[in-house]
Amino acid sequence: MGKAAVITGSTSGIGLAIARALAAEGCSIALNSFTDRPEDEALAGSISDEFGVEAFYVRADMAKAGECRRLVEDATRRFRRLDILVNNVGIQHVAPVEEFPTERWDAILAINLSSAFHTIAAAVPHMKRQGGGRIVNIASAHGLRASPFKSAYVAAKHGVVGLTKTVALELAEEHITCNAVCPGYVLTPLVEAQIPDQMKAHNMDRETVVRQVMLAKQPTREFATVEQMAASVVFLCSDMAAQITGTTLSIDGGWTAQ
């Protein structure tokens, strides 16, 4: 593929898997998180060594408009082009709506929704000038369905799906596609960390809590994998997906068929 890609929130979980899968296709990679640790630079170095591509880390806090735009500008300057933007960063908070902390609502809307607006706004002029590009937004089954106690997350992810469709229409004649991937539950470190607490809370063993509590809405009763998410992003960034735009791709074990 040999393209240049920016992936927001990509030092862990789905974002890291997407970065690795694009690197395996020969893409140059800009990794991102808000941290400033030696491990972040080392991660970029290991991707570069393993796949023989240019890879670097850009520290930028996706809660802040200016930093979202700076990430895209910094990466584009270093690559001298920009072909792929993957808006992956996301956080979660669970609480009843009347108790939902305002600060958490603001953070989730900023990181899960507004960051995609800012990075897209910064990326589009470069993609237009080059004559094309690919934008993939990692939404969620919660971009299409609701669950209680996740008001901010569900609102933000529905917003991401709306943003995706609008951007796709605006750029339809520019050879720039914009699509959303909608994962169900994926076994990332974030989800793995919740299992012991759920086992304790429900007094169940691991297998039972996963099947009956965590995957209650996912008909296959299996987690999706980060590699499955990454493969779908690679496909959406390929030439064969040039006519796929403004749509959602559910990878949710049947959740949204219900």
Q: How far apart are the first and last CA of the chain?
A: 36
Question: Using the rule CB under 6 A, is 194 a contact of ligand NAD?
Answer: no
Question: Using the rule CB under 6 A, is 163 a contact of ligand NAD?
Answer: no
DSSP state, residue 25: T
Cβ-count burial 85-123 (b if 16+ within 10 Å, e if not): bbbbbbbbbeeeeeebeeebbeebbbbbbbbbbbbbebb
Instruction: Determine the interface stretch with ligand NAD among 31-39, 96-104, 118-126, 196-204 (rule: CB under 6 A).
Output: 31-39
Instruction: Determine the interface stretch with ligand NAD among 22-30, 43-51, 180-188, 237-245 (rule: CB under 6 A).
Output: 180-188
Question: Using the rule CB under 6 A, is 230 a contact of ligand NAD?
Answer: no
Instruction: Determine the interface stretch with ligand NAD among 85-93, 163-171, 195-203, 213-221 (rule: CB under 6 A).
Output: 85-93
Question: Using the rule CB under 6 A, is 61 a contact of ligand NAD?
Answer: yes
Residues near ligand NAD (CB under 6 A), total: 27
- Are 240 and 177 within 8 A, CB to CB? no
The active-site residue, picked from 105, 153, 185, 255, is 153
Q: Which of 186, 214, 230, 249 binds ligand NAD (CB under 6 A)?
A: 186
Nearer Cβ to ligand NAD, position 9 or 159?
A: 9
Question: Using the rule CB under 6 A, is 111 a contact of ligand NAD?
Answer: yes
Question: Using the rule CB under 6 A, is 245 a contact of ligand NAD?
Answer: no
Helix axes 65-79, 115-130, angle to 10 degrees: 30
Cβ-count burial 186-209 (b if 16+ within 10 Å, e if not): bbbeeeeeeeeeebeeeeeeeeeb
Q: Which of 88, 164, 232, 245 binds ligand NAD (CB under 6 A)?
A: 88
Question: Using the rule CB under 6 A, is 63 a contact of ligand NAD?
Answer: yes
Amino acid of residue 168: A
Q: Which of 4, 5, 6, 15 binds ligand NAD (CB under 6 A)?
A: 15
Question: Using the rule CB under 6 A, is 138 a contact of ligand NAD?
Answer: yes
* Nearest by Cα to 135 from 95, 92, 164: 164
Sheet with 4-7, side-by-side order of all strands:
55-59, 28-33, 4-7, 84-87, 133-138, 176-183, 248-251
Any catalytic annotation for residue 153? yes
Q: Which two tokens stand for residue 91?
A: 């956080």
Enumerate binding residues for ligand NAD (CB under 6 A).
9-15, 32-34, 61-63, 88-91, 111, 138, 140, 183, 185-186, 188-191
Q: Which residues are catalytic?
A: 153
